[in-house]
Structure formats: structure tokens, C-alpha cells
């Protein structure tokens, strides 16, 4: 889904200390907003960002991904709610999009898919892992997308229209994801794109968050 791909960056780093045992971790970064100068505000799971590693970011483009750029992890915009939030600017203008937060509640049985990078240190293929919602409350939802074991590290969850409905953060035999209500509280500093039933809300409108 092209809309989804435009709002996700690839973040990678090696996480084994010995060259002969080098393994790559690849996680998703979600584009929260795009600034006037074209730079993107990006949120990613914060688990690894305290490590002394070389992190690189690849922005999506029309043919795949741009060349990597190194991320200075010492200069986050903010760390909050289990997310590391930073800014970076793509080399090409006009392709990336901010993710759209769907404020309409998901229901048990609703089809969803998760955007997951592969375990290996390669850019492709990317998995759109399908599943459904198996339980939901106001701040957390549970789903059964068929993903690898590292997918709990911030894999975004979308409805079939390509709008964000959650971000996975825990695996306890089933996947747990923060709902949009929780995410909008965490990311309220930034001008997120909010939709209701796929229809974009006017700029500055307060989302009707369900408790």
C-alpha cells in the first residue's frame, strides 16, 4: 500500500559487538508530521536508542529507498511514552507523507495489517502482515497479525484504508498495541493528521477521543 509506505522510514543498526557475529536490527519509524523545511518528525520504539550503536535512516522514495543517512542519537527531540522522537530530512522532496491517525474505534474482528521490516539487514521485501483485532479497550488493542518475534518493537498497525490504528509494543503470546487514543496523547505536541472513518478532520480540530 503506497500510502502506508510513504509514512514509514527504515531505521537499522548492528547489535552484535563482534564483526564475525554481526546481525542487523531493522525497525520502523513513523512519520508524525512534516515541517515547513521538508524535514520529518519521526517516532520509533525507544528500546535500543540508549545503546552506543551507529543508527542509520532510509527514507522511502518512488523506486524503493533513498541512500542511508546517519542518525545522531544524542539529539532527540523528545523521549516519551516508550518512543524516541527525532527529526531528519529526506534527500528528495514531495514523496513522504505524515501518517494518518484514524480516531474511529476498531472493533473485535476488524481486519488489520502490520508494516514489518524483515529480520535480515535488507531493505526488501517488506511484510504487510495481515490479521484481525482479537480484543480492544480504550488504550490497548490485541491482534493476531503473523509477524516475526521482533515485530513488537514499534511495528505500526493499519486498517485496510491505510490509516494508523495502533503501534505494537508487546508480545505475550498475542500482540499488544497502543491505540490511537494513547498515541495522540503521547504525540500531542505535533500537528498530526487526524481522520475519522477515513475523512480528514480540519486542521486544529480536537479529536473525539473515546474513553
What pLDDT does 123 receive? Answer: 41
Summarize pLDDT for 202-211 with one digit per residue, the tens.
Answer: 555 555 555 4
Of 92, 94, 83, 4, give the one whose Cα is nearest residue 44.
83
CA atoms within 13 A on the CB side of 209: 14
Rounded to two decimals, the pTM is 0.86
Average pLDDT over residues 128-133: 90
Cα distances (angstroms) measured from residue 4 to each of 1, 176, 205? 6, 20, 23
Ordered domains of the chain (ranges, CATH): 2-88 (2.40.10), 102-181 (2.40.10.10)
Q: Is 204 left (phi over 0), alpha (psi -120 to 50) or beta?
A: left
Torsion on CA atoms 132, 136, 141, 147, rounded to nearest 10: -20
Percent of residues, the chain, with pLDDT higher than 90? 45
Summarize pLDDT for 10-30 with one digit per residue, the tens.
Answer: 998 876 655 554 567 788 999
User: Look-up: residue for cell 512534516?
Assistant: 34
Summarize pLDDT for 58-80 with one digit per residue, the tens.
Answer: 999 999 899 999 988 777 777 77
CA atoms within 13 A on the CB side of 68: 15
Summarize pLDDT for 134-176 with one digit per residue, the tens.
Answer: 999 878 999 999 887 778 889 999 999 999 999 999 998 889 9
Amino acid at each position: 500500500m503506497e500510502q502506508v509506505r510513504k509514512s514509514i522510514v527504515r531505521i537499522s543498526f548492528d547489535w552484535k559487538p563482534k564483526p564475525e557475529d554481526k546481525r542487523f536490527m531493522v525497525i520502523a519509524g513513523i512519520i508524525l508530521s512534516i515541517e515547513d523545511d521538508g524535514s520529518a518528525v519521526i517516532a520509533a520504539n525507544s528500546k535500543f536508542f540508549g545503546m552506543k550503536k551507529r543508527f542509520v535512516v532510509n527514507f522511502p522514495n518512488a523506486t524503493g529507498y533513498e541512500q542511508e543517512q546517519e542518525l545522531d542519537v544524542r539529539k532527540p527531540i523528545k523521549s516519551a511514552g516508550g518512543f524516541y522522537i527525532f527529526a531528519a530530512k529526506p534527500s528528495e522532496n514531495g514523496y513522504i507523507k505524515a501518517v494518518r491517525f484514524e480516531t474511529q474505534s476498531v472493533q473485535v474482528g476488524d481486519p488489520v495489517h502490520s508494516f514489518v521490516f524483515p529480520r535480515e539487514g535488507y531493505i526488501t521485501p517488506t511484510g504487510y502482515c495481515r490479521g484481525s483485532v482479537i480484543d480492544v479497550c480504550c488504550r490497548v488493542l490485541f491482534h493476531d497479525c503473523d509477524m516475526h518475534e521482533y515485530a513488537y518493537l514499534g511495528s505500526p498497525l493499519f486498517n485496510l484504508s491505510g490509516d494508523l490504528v495502533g503501534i505494537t509494543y508487546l508480545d505475550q503470546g498475542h500482540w499488544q498495541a497502543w491505540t490511537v487514543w494513547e498515541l495522540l496523547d503521547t504525540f500531542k505536541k505535533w500537528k498530526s493528521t487526524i481522520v475519522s472513518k477515513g475523512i480528514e478532520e480540519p486542521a486544529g480540530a480536537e479529536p473525539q477521543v473515546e474513553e
